[in-house]
Chain A
Amino acid sequence: MTQPLLSVNGVSKYFGGLKAVDEVDFDVFPREILGILGPNGAGKTVLFNLISGIYQPTAGEVHFCGQRIDGLPPHLIAQRGMGRTFQIVKPFGSLTVLQNVLVARGVMRYGHLTKIWGPWGSKAEIREAMEVLDKVGLTELAQRKASLLPLGNLRRLEIARALIVGHTVLLLDESFSGLRHDEIGQLERLIRRIRDDGRTIILIEHNMRVTMGLCDRIVVLDHGRKIAEGAPKDIQQDEAVIEAYLGRKGISHAS
């Protein structure tokens, strides 16, 4: 069996008495699209913050490419090739769309005091950034200031930045929410293409149709605990999942 690219072992995060994430385990394999599903407040975003280093886990370990990464600050994890987006978009508002992507392009420089004094935006770097913007469909807005963009475009911008940083793994936190129907289709195609280019994707999504259609495997969280894991069709039948979403009564209706 192939080695997992990312493995989460018994990871917990407590905020005081609240167990936001409670002993969650799962593995992610290379070139997989893994969905994280769960009702509001299930701990999905907290889990992403634990993987990307924004929070330190209360207990448990996270391994990425065979190395332990829990406890590392987010910038060091990013430098290892993990990119992520945020559920609440976080553009660099005073910069242009192109500059936003260029910030991400510098990911390998910021760790070296000698590599940060050169000028940004060489022709090759701009070409590369424009290629990524083309992938997400923002070419025309490259010179627009990021703070002026509507939500749908900001979600694409987040993906563009994460694409450059995350040459190994991408964590997408509700990238579909707030998108129009046709935009959802485009984004689905984009995510498949990214995976076909050899990357691994973990995504949090509320849209059932998208999750079921896109993901190879799904992990379901509820109240911070993992309640199910498996292929989309198995998840759809899973009693614990139906209960979490529809309540106890839902089971009799669903069956």
Chain B
Amino acid sequence: MSSYTITIGTIIVIQAIAVCGLNVIVGYAGQISLGHAAFFGIGAYTAAMLSTKAGLSFWTALPLVIAIGGFIGFLLGLPSIRVREDFLAITTIGINFIVEAVFRYVPFFGGALGIGGIPRIVFFGERLKGMTFLLLCLVFLFLVLLVCWWLTRCWASLACYAVRDEESAASTMGISHVRFKLLAFVIGTSMAALAGSLYAHYMQFINAGDFSFPVSVGFLSMLVLGGMGTIWGPVIGTLILGVLPEIFRPLVDYRILFYTLLLLLMIRFQPGGLLGEESAMRRVLAPILRRGKA
């Protein structure tokens, strides 16, 4: 594999981890978020600060990064879940702009220059880059998918689905909507923080612009395209929206037009996403999968 392919692949895998987190919030718990890049950024900045200023290794910093990401997700989730739908969308956009502004204007976070000199990840004495780093990211993606899969099987997810479908009916079944929305927020933002940490150590230089609002829109587009609430949807969506721009590089000026068109077409014809429950893809795949099992 050429280093170009590996670079594209690594970015896609890192983004897929973040989109899996977004899927927990939007897909499982039904809480729209247009500020997911903020939490991706919080993970990246936390990892960058801990490694450059506190001198921690990626591995010792990782639990801290995930915990801090989840904790900030909890704090910002508290006021956000008091509002619904459109208002929640606007609130999360606001969070994205505020977090980005803090990174950009507070000198402690490197200001407009960002943070550079983030060390590579060392694993058993070897500095990971290229293929080995991609493998590490794939392992993390696998672990995140495992968590997502488990989430669909446990009581917490059943409660989240109930809140997503009918909040007031869920409350009369003993489900506190505040608790389960926050839970989804914390899990989703921790995953974003993990992705952010990998991103920081991969790029070795980060800057506030990497975590701006359009990145959040990108994450949500990937999720909608792949299929909200499905396990593989985030991966498929990220893969397609990660690869297509590379293939159609000459058409780069029309990229936003293309994204918009794609989203409109998806919402019109496949609102559940490519892997959604009644999607064309699933209908094609279902008989093949069934034969495989039999």
Contacts and interface: CB of A to CB of B under 8 A. Distances in A.
Given A73-B176, A91-B166, A92-B166, A54 B154 contact: no
A120 B155 CA distance: 5
Interface string B267-291: 0000000000000000000000000
A95 B165 CA distance: 9
Interface string A117-157: 11110000000000000000000000000000000000000
Majority DSSP secondary structure for residues of A touching B: loop
Interface stretch (A24-32, A96-104, A174-182): A96-104
Interface string A82-120: 011010001111110001001110111111000111111
Nearest to B163: A92
A37 B37 CA distance: 54
A115 B155 contact: yes
B173 A119 contact: no
A120 B169 contact: no
Contacts of A79: 174
Nearest to A103: B162
B168 interface: yes
Given A92-B161, A110-B159, A116 B173 contact: no
B89 interface: no
A-B pairs with lowest CB-CB distance, top 7: A107-B174, A90-B169, A92-B165, A74-B171, A116-B156, A90-B166, A78-B174
A211 interface: no
A94 B164 contact: yes
A76 B174 CA distance: 6
A160 to B, nearest CB: 12
Interface in B168-216: 168-176, 179-180
B32 to A, nearest CB: 16
Contacts of B158: 95, 99, 102-103, 106, 120
A75 B175 contact: yes
Contacts of A75: 171-176
A75 B170 CA distance: 8
A94 B161 contact: yes
Contacts of A117: 154-156
A118 B159 CA distance: 12
A161 B153 CA distance: 20
Contacts, number: 102
Given A99-B161, A106-B173, A118-B155, 9 more contacts: A52-B172, A78-B173, A94-B165, A94-B229, A102-B158, A115-B155, A116-B155, A117-B156, A120-B154
Given A90-B168, A94-B165, A165 B154 contact: no
B155 A78 contact: no
A126 to B, nearest CB: 13
A109 B171 contact: no
A86 B171 CA distance: 12
Interface of B: 153-156, 158-159, 161-162, 164-166, 168-176, 179-180, 229
Nearest to A146: B165
Nearest to A108: B174
Contact of A83 (B156, B159, B172, B179): B172
Contacts of A78: 171-174
Nearest to A119: B153
Contacts of B229: 94
A116 B169 contact: no
8 contacts: A76-B174, A78-B172, A91-B165, A102-B158, A107-B173, A110-B174, A110-B175, A118-B155
A59 B229 CA distance: 43
Given A91-B166, A92-B162, A54 B155 contact: no
Contacts of A103: 158-159, 161-162, 170, 173, 175
A95 B153 contact: no
A253 B46 CA distance: 81
Contact of A54 (B153, B171, B175): B171
Interface string A52-82: 1110000000000000000001111011000
A120 B159 CA distance: 10
Contacts of B162: 92, 95, 103
Contacts of A102: 158
B169 A165 contact: no
A236 to B, nearest CB: 32
B175 to A, nearest CB: 5
A78 B176 CA distance: 10
Nearest to B164: A94
Given A90-B168, A92-B169, A116 B159 contact: yes
A38 B4 CA distance: 74
A125 to B, nearest CB: 10
B201 to A, nearest CB: 30
Contacts of B171: 53-54, 73-75, 78
A165 B172 CA distance: 8
Nearest to A49: B168
